[in-house]
Every structure is written in C-alpha cells, then in structure tokens.
Amino acid sequence: MIVTCERCEQRYKIREEKLPPQGGKIRCPTCRHVFIVRPDGTQAESSDAVAATETPISGAGEPAKPKAAAAATAEPTNADAAKPAAKAEEASDDKETWKLRVSGLTYAFQDLDSLQTWLTARDSVKGIKVAKGADGWKELGDYPDVLSIALLSKFFPMGDVPTSKDGESVPEPQKPSKEPKGSSESAGSSAKGNSDDKAKGQRKARQQPRKPDVRRPRPETEESAFAMTPRARKLLIAAVVLIALAVVAQFAGWLNLTALVPGLTEKKSEAIDTSATATSTAKPKGKKKTARVASGVKRPGDETEGPREVGPTKVVYVEGEEPDSTEPPEVIEDKRTPEEIRADKVKQGRVYLESKSWEQARGFLEPLMQVTPDDLELNQAMLEVYIGLGLEAEHPDLAAKVFAAKMERGNAFVESKSWAEARAFLEPLLMEHPDDLELNQAMLKVYKGLGLSDQHDDLKTKVAALQRAAKKQEKP
C-alpha cells in the first residue's frame, strides 16, 4: 500500500497486513507528521493530541535514519491500493525517482539531494544498492551523480568505490502478494498497468545513453607516499648487505678500503723531539726510515738506501731507529711587561685567597715579595695570608708597611684634590685605625673639600683632642 503524507506529500510503501482493522497511526519520516491510515486505503487527519499518543506500527513508516525520507516497502494487496500504486510509479518514472535497498528494506527518494543527504548521515554504506527509475539494483559507483564530495571523503577516501564490475547486479526480489477475495479483477488490472509502466521505463532507460564509469583518482596518503615497489625494496636490501660485508672484510683484513677509495689514505708524519734535554723518545709501532749522521763509515748490519753529502759528513738512512733532532725547541716570546706579569701573578694569588687556600697562596705570593717588596697590593695580600694562617704576630712590620703605603696613596689623592677618590680610599682605613692623627687630619681636609660641615666639625674636635694627647706624650 502506498500512502502520502498530508503535510509534506512524501510517498512511501507500507505493508497492509501490519495495519489493525480499525486503522493505525503513521509518523512521516521526513516531517514527523502523524496521521491515520485504514486498511481500505483511506487516510484521516490526526490532531496534535492524537500525535502525542500515537502507537507506532512495526515495519510501517519507520525510517532507517533520522535524516532520511524513506520507508520499508511491500507490494500492494488490495484493489483500492493498486491505483495509487500505479499512479505513484508513473510519477516516479516521470521524476526519475531514486530507490535504495539495504538490509532487506527498500527506500524511495524524490530527488538526488535527499538520497545524498540520507547516505551521508549513515555510519556505513556497506551493502547498499541503488536504482534510478526503472533500472535494476546497482552499486554506488555505477552512478557518479550520487557520489558527492562529502560522501567520497567520508566513506571512500582512497577512491575504492564499489561498482557492478566487481560483482553482478542484484535483481529486485519479487515477493508474492496475498490477494483478498473479490478483488482479483482490480488486482489484475493493476498488475497489467504496473507491467506496462515497467516496460515503458525499461525502453526509456535503453534509449538513454549509458553514462561512463567515472572513477575518482586515488588520493595520495602519507603511507602511499613512502611506499616502495618490490624491485626498489630488493635493491635496498642488497645494498645494505654489500655494505655490511665490506665493513666485515675491512676489519678482518680481507679488503683494504683505503687503497680502493681515494681520500681515505692516512698521512703519516714523523715525530719531532722538541725537548732540549731529551736523549731518546718512545719508538712507534713499526719501522721507520730515519737519518743518521756518520763520518762515511758503514756499520755492520746497517741497510742503507744511498748516502748523501752534508758538508764534511754523510747522512745514512737506517731502518728501525728514531731521528736525532738537532732543531732547538720553539720559544714563545712573552710580550708582557714586568708590571703585567706581576699583576697576573697577584691575581692568581687572589684566587687562592678567595678560596681560603692559605698555604697555596703563601707559596705563590712570597716569592713575588722578594722581587717587589714595596708593592701595596702584594703586601696587603700577604698580610691577609698571614692573618689566615695566624702568623700576623710574626710579621708586625708588614702591617705597618701596608698602613704606610695606604696613607701615601691617600695623601696623593688629597694633594690632587680628588676628594671623592680620597674619601673612598681613606674612610675604610679610618675605621681600622680611628686614633691615627695623620689619618684623621687627611680626612678633615677631605670633608672640608667636599663641603660636609657636620662631619668636618665632629672630626675637627677629634683632631684637636688627638693633637693635645700627642703633645702630652712628647713632654718628659
């Protein structure tokens, strides 16, 4: 029985034997509209309230997918349904209706877009057969118009679309229909009309030129891009085996690659003794031809390769001995000044001081003091070493020497009126020797030169007190 939706006018087939005697409610798969269908072929509108309490009929109007506009098919079984069926098939032939079969169910589509939408919404298109108009069932690849870009990219990314060449086309199964009593005449006329329509559709299909089988190019994937032909694979394996055998032969001594390949030859250089006092060197592996200076007398057992004249003597080449080098060792000239050399050595001693390696610092700096005994930085470093070793009591003159040198440098800043440098140099010294009269007098000049009146007044009072104390000590 062919029924038509009252809202969207979508047609589809249902089995009449599934309907109850009083009729059943059908939901349209396309627009979800609910209406009532009776066994006599009449349809009645259903309200929204009826649609809310509908009872679906198994096998009648149930879509395979939510986005599809299709229904399970069955042959018409009464005379009243025969005429609508014939009319529906005529309309299908005129509009070239598309049919689709999957899992024993047949679906009809009014246009190509509906069919493509239904196929794209599925999870798989395996086992699906398609027919256009009155054509027989064919594979999806037999109709290039059906293969949209979305369908190819989702189900056939490699371009392997099934066609009828892979297997024979499946004919549409004919199911026997049960004719009720009293309707044989109308059923006969309906069957005759259906056969005429089918013959007409087949003639029309034969007259139309068959579209060529179009296969889309197989897209190149990452795996196919790195794929190798069997011949290339065999050549690669053979090359790897040959390289491995060559390496094994080289290590075993069967093959000399250095002689076959230019550039691998090792250059042998003679060892030269650069030591002025060395009398002999270690002999390398193997024998080398060396030169011996002789007075023209050949020793027993010596193998000569021809003497050559070198002044009054002769040079004889002997195997198994090292040459006696007569060249003096290369001397690198030190272009540093004595002051720069001393400063570098003092810096090295400072490294030992920072790491508190007192013994290493003492052994490094004491020899320098014998060369430059009046160097302030060197004497100050040695004073720190003696304090670290606890030997400052053994060298009392060194502390006085360092203080005198610092005072001399500070007075030089004061005389040149470099007040900022003088303050930076003398203030730390004043903290170590707060009662030294000469140091306080120098700092008084610095504060006056910098315009620091507060510090100047305080220090002036202190200097006056120190002067009075010094005069008292001078009196017998």
| 3-state SS track over the chain | CEEECCCCCCEEECCHHHCCCCCEEEECCCCCCEEEECCCCCEEECCHHHHHCCCCCCCCCCCCCCCCCCCCCCCCCCHHHHHHHHHHHHHHHHHCCEEEEECCEEEEECCHHHHHHHHHCCCCCCCCEEEECCCCCECHHHCCCCCCHHHHHHHCCCCCCCCHHHCCCCCCCCCCCCCCCCCHHHHHHHHHHHHHHHHHHHHHHHHCCCCCCCCCCCCCCHHHHCCCCHHHHHHHHHHHHHHHHHHHHHHHCCCCHHHHCCCCCCCCCCCCCCCCCCCCCCCCCCCCEEEEEECCCCCCCCCCCCCEEECCEEEEEEECCCCCCCCCCCCCCCCCCHHHHHHHHHHHHHHHHHCCCHHHHHHHHHHHHHHCCCCHHHHHHHHHHHHHHCCHHHCHHHHHHHHHHHHHHHHHHHHCCCHHHHHHHHHHHHHHCCCCHHHHHHHHHHHHHHCCHHHHHHHHHHHHHHHHHHHHHHCC
Domain regions of the chain by residue span: 2-207, 229-256, 289-319, 335-392, 395-476
Tens-place pLDDT, residues 92-144: 444 578 888 887 788 888 888 888 898 888 888 888 999 988 888 888 888 88
Per-residue pLDDT of the chain (476 residues; tens, 9 = 90+): 788 888 888 887 777 777 777 778 888 888 888 888 877 766 655 444 333 333 344 344 444 343 333 333 333 444 343 444 444 444 444 457 888 888 778 888 888 888 889 888 888 888 899 998 888 888 888 888 888 888 888 888 887 888 877 654 444 444 444 444 444 444 444 545 555 666 666 665 555 555 555 455 455 454 555 567 888 889 999 999 999 988 888 888 776 666 665 555 544 444 444 444 444 444 444 444 444 444 444 444 444 444 444 444 444 445 555 555 566 666 667 677 877 877 787 777 778 878 888 888 888 787 877 777 777 777 778 878 888 888 877 777 777 778 888 888 888 888 888 888 888 888 888 888 888 888 888 888 888 888 887 888 888 888 888 888 888 877 66
Which pLDDT score is estimated for 240?
94
- pTM exceeding the 0.75 threshold for the entire prediction: no
pLDDT digits (tens, 9 = 90+) for 217-266: 455 454 555 567 888 889 999 999 999 988 888 888 776 666 665 555 54
Average pLDDT in the chain: 68
Fold of 395-476: 1.25.40
